[in-house]
Amino acid sequence: MTPIRARLPRFATYLVLLLGLLPAIGSAQTLFVTSGNNVGAYNATTGAVINASLITSINNPVGIVASGGNLLISSTQDDTIGKYDAATGATINASLISQDSVLGLAISGTTLYVSHYAYETISTFNATTGATIDANFITGNVNILGVYDLAVSDAGLLVSSAGYYQIRRFNPTTGAFIDAFIIGLNDPRGIAVSGNDLYVVNRGNNTVGKYNATTGTAINASFITSSLDQPYGIAVSGNNLYVSNQGSDNVVLFNATTGALIDGSFITGLSDPSGLVVVAVPEPSTYAVLAGLLALGCVAWRRRRA
């Protein structure tokens, strides 16, 4: 008979394999949208409502990023950034960070970058604990003016500056200004990076531009020119490009490669939608399946042990 100590590593191997199946068994792409005083969850492929009021305890949420299995969301009314469970919407810490005029968010590793619209400032925090890293990481309207969204790419920390009509680039470690990465924009708001592509929302002329994320060179400054109405937020997942329209209270879906409209009413019935983020969230049935597989594994192990 095989010694128990020899069976334990084998059972541990089975356990690891089962855990590895978790995403394949039932992990769905979910699009989260900040709208009104809610954060809604929608199927990122079809736009179907998962829970239009997944999180309801936030006053005027705008910025949203994913951190592990959690969401970090800025409340422009409460001057806080809260942490919430992406699967259930449960509050983990509604005041993980308390700072005035919080707006745009970007994350890189465990560093959270936060724009402060009233102070022309960008701060950095530990995304896990909320501890302040540098409250004055980037300051002064010499560097940024009319700051909104943020994104981190291989090129650096990219900041949409509506006051300068530019995307401005900074060193993500030191905060030092590098250059005016993209110029000649029109009230830039949301920005999103996907691979070597950078997408920029121009609220002033209802367009989205597409640029090289490494050099800032325009691929197509008028990449999308239709179906936009006071656009604000933007997110990319695979070949899907999502844009939130505050004028028509909806989210529109485009082809991220060609800019072609896929669905002009992908999500409707929103209220001043702004921030968007796509996250792979395990479906509830996934946990039941996994529990059943683990139970079967335990039974098999016990029989072999006997």
Provide the Cα torsion 112, 113, 117, 120; round to 10°: 140
- Which two tokens mark 12? 């541990």
Q: What is the pLDDT of residues 219-247, one digit of tens each?
A: 999 999 999 999 999 999 999 999 999 99
Residue 126 · residue 164 · CB < 8 Å: no
Query: What pLDDT score does 302 carry?
Result: 54
Would the pLDDT of 1 be above 90? no
The mean pLDDT of the chain is: 88
Higher pLDDT, 118 or 223: 223
Q: Would the CA dihedral through 209, 110, 102, 233 be positive or negative?
A: positive
For the stretch 55-88, what's the b/e string if a residue is b when 16 or more beta carbons lie within 10 angstroms of its beta carbon?
Answer: beebeebbbbbbbeebbbbbbbebbbbbbbebbe
**In this prediction, what percent of the chain has a pLDDT beyond 90?**
79
Residue 272 · residue 36 · CB < 8 Å: yes
Radius of gyration of the chain (CA): 22
Q: Would the CA dihedral through 127, 132, 134, 140 be positive or negative?
A: positive
C-alpha–C-alpha distance, residues 58 and 53, integer Å: 11
User: What is the arithmetic mean of pLDDT over 169-192?
Assistant: 97
User: What is the arithmetic mean of pLDDT over 46-73?
Assistant: 97
**In this prediction, what percent of the chain has a pLDDT beyond 70?**
83
User: What is the arithmetic mean of pLDDT over 6-25?
Assistant: 48
Find the length of the chain.
306
Instruction: Quote the domain boundaries for residue 64.
Output: 4-305
Q: What is the pLDDT of residues 253-301, one digit of tens each?
A: 999 999 999 999 999 999 999 999 999 987 554 444 444 444 455 445 4
Question: Pairing mode, if any, of strands 218-224 and 207-212?
Answer: antiparallel
Number of domains in the chain: 1
Residue 56 · residue 96 · CB < 8 Å: no
Query: What pLDDT score does 235 carry?
Result: 98
User: What is the arithmetic mean of pLDDT over 174-194?
Assistant: 97
Q: What is the pLDDT of residues 65-111, one digit of tens each?
A: 999 999 999 999 999 999 999 999 999 999 999 999 999 999 999 99
CATH code, domain with 269? 2.130.10.10
| DSSP element (H, E) containing 8 | helix 4-20
Query: What pLDDT score does 281 carry?
Result: 82
Sheet holding 207-212, edge to edge: 188-194, 197-202, 207-212, 218-224
User: Residues near 292 by Cβ (< 8 Å), separated by ≥ 6?
Assistant: none
Residue 162 · residue 146 · CB < 8 Å: yes
- What are the CB-based long-range contacts (under 8 Å, 24+) for 130-134? 130/81, 130/83, 130/93, 130/96, 130/97, 132/97, 134/175
